[in-house]
Amino acid sequence: VETLADASKKARKKVGTAPSYGVMASGEEDYLSLLASEFNYITPENVAKWGPLQPVSANEWDFSAFDSMLAVTQDNKQKVKGRALVWHRQAPNFVNEQVDAATLAQMIDNHITTTMQYYAGEIYAWDVVNEVMGDDANYRQSVFYKKLGKSYIADAYISARAADPRAKLFYNDYGIDSINAKSDAVYTMMAELIADGVPIDGIGFQMHLDAASAPSTEEMTANLQRFADLGLSVNISEIDVRISSLSWDDVTNLAIQQQVYHRAVNACMNVRQCDAFTLWGFTDKYTWIDGEFGEDDPLIYDDEYQRKPAYFGVADGLLRI
Ligand code: G3I
């Protein structure tokens, strides 16, 4: 096969990435051509989040950046996952603790309804709520939870289903890549939502991994499978693999990174209901990791757009090699 997109067709899983709108708009050719040829599923890195979509006030939306990105994905015949409609980060400034509960609930419903109706029919899936579970395995003390309790979660999915009945509705979180206290808590939450009849179709596992401590294929598979057994579609939604904590030579570090990618793809391949494998970027030239963790090379293309060993970790996994 020539590309990950080719391999993904054989695997019958979508292969995705999260492009930066800024880099796309700069017109960098290598970036745009790999984006078009290697991937068939696109998640905007930032432009479809609540803050970027409602930058000024509660009754105004700015869809222009996401619209331009969608025009490219339509030329490329790629499916799109919009995100994140409700997240405690990158939310508008008007979403704050001065707002009373009823107004906040109204803002959430308005944002979901307006945005999803505007894009109805164009978006394959939405991450409706993102990262509501804390690292201590209790509900995160966000402005939403403090004002509304956990009811806002079910309500968000109900608003989303009504706004665009064709879109698949996902939950998404980090630190839940294998079986642990936080993934147990998310599992309980998902089981409760389903038992309550809340319209939710699937869950994304971010997998921002450190190569030094990444789980095994077996651990990831077992975890994905238990969520799939709830009747959910599962996907790997934001994977990158940090290597700066490794202390071998470069060749070895990159080979370990290749193995970690391979393990994660294998886990998705092992679970029939795993429908997509999405990278959080694709070139080491542009990655949120550098800003947040310090200089690293967590992706599958290097700064010069050459394929790294990690690329073949993904491709081989999709081809069951
Ligand atoms: O757009 C402004 C720009 O106008 C300003 O000049 C610049 C100065 O700092 O900031 C720009 O905004 C930045 C934005 O990315 C767009 O580049 C924000 O500061 C920065 O915080 C933001 O970071 C994003 C981060 O989410 C915010 O939490 C990352 O790009 C994005 O990769 C990251 O993605 C998240 C997922 O959504 C959820 N899962 C975890 C993942 C990593 O944190």
Q: Is the CB of 96 under 6 A from ligand 1?
A: no
Partners of 17 in the β-ladder: 42, 279
Q: Tell me the percentage of the chain whose pLDDT exceeds 70.
A: 100
Active site residue 238: yes
**CA gap 58, 277 in Å, rounded:** 34
C-alpha 89 to ligand 1 mean position (Å): 9
Cis before 214? omega within 30: no
Q: Is the CB of 90 under 6 A from ligand 1?
A: yes
**CA gap 150, 132 in Å, rounded:** 9
**CA gap 112, 49 in Å, rounded:** 11
Q: Tell me the percentage of the chain whose pLDDT exceeds 90.
A: 100
Mean local confidence (pLDDT), 113-121: 98
Task: Pick from 45, 47, 241, 242 the residue to mutate for probing ligand 1's pocket: most ligand atoms within 8 Å of its CB.
Answer: 45
* Residue of 2, 218, 238, 304 marked active site: 238
Mean local confidence (pLDDT), 136-145: 98
For helices 4-11 and 29-38, the axis angle rounded to 10 degrees is 20
Mean local confidence (pLDDT), 190-216: 98
C-alpha 18 to ligand 1 mean position (Å): 12
Mean local confidence (pLDDT), 301-315: 98
C-alpha 120 to ligand 1 mean position (Å): 26
Indicate the burial class of 321 (C-beta count within 10 angstroms; 0-12, 13-18, 19 or more).
exposed
**CA gap 321, 316 in Å, rounded:** 5
Q: Taking all residues of the chain, what is their mean pLDDT, rounded to a whole number?
A: 98
pLDDT surpassing 80 at residue 121? yes
Mean local confidence (pLDDT), 124-131: 98
Q: Is the dihedral of CA 299, 302, 304, 307 positive or negative?
A: negative
**CA gap 271, 234 in Å, rounded:** 9
Q: Tell me the residue range of the domain where 162 lies.
A: 4-318
In the numeric block, the tokens 């598979």 are attached to 221
**162 token code pair:** 């009504």
Confidence of residue 179 (pLDDT cuts 50, 70, 90): very high
Mean local confidence (pLDDT), 130-155: 98
Which is nearest to 72 in space by CA: 37, 46, 117?
A: 37
112, containing H or E segment: helix 101-118
C-alpha 47 to ligand 1 mean position (Å): 10
3-state secondary structure of 310: helix
Q: Is the CB of 124 under 6 A from ligand 1?
A: no
Which is nearest to 200 in space by CA: 230, 222, 225?
A: 230
Q: Residue 272's Cα: distance from chain center in Å?
A: 19
Q: What is the ipTM of this complex?
A: 0.92
In the numeric block, the tokens 């709108």 are attached to 21
Residue nearest ligand 1's atom 21 by CA: 90
Q: Is the CB of 293 under 6 A from ligand 1?
A: no
Non-local CB neighbours of 90 within 8 Å, separated by 6+ positions:
46, 49, 50, 51, 52, 84
Indicate the burial class of 36 (C-beta count within 10 angstroms; 0-12, 13-18, 19 or more).
middle
> pTM for this one?
0.97
**φ, ψ for residue 172, nearest 5 deg:** -145, 140
Q: Is the CB of 284 under 6 A from ligand 1?
A: no
Mean local confidence (pLDDT), 80-101: 97
Output the domain CATH number for residue 18. Answer: 3.20.20.80
Task: Pick from 129, 130, 133, 288 the residue to mutate for probing ligand 1's pocket: most ligand atoms within 8 Å of its CB.
Answer: 288
The whole-number pLDDT of residue 200 equals 98
**Domains held by the chain: number:** 1
**CA gap 287, 118 in Å, rounded:** 30
Closest ligand 1 atom, residue 174 Cα: 39
**CA gap 250, 305 in Å, rounded:** 18
* Residue of 97, 131, 295, 304 marked active site: 131
Residue nearest ligand 1's atom 32 by CA: 288
**227 token code pair:** 């969520």
Active site residue 97: no
Confidence of residue 1 (pLDDT cuts 50, 70, 90): confident
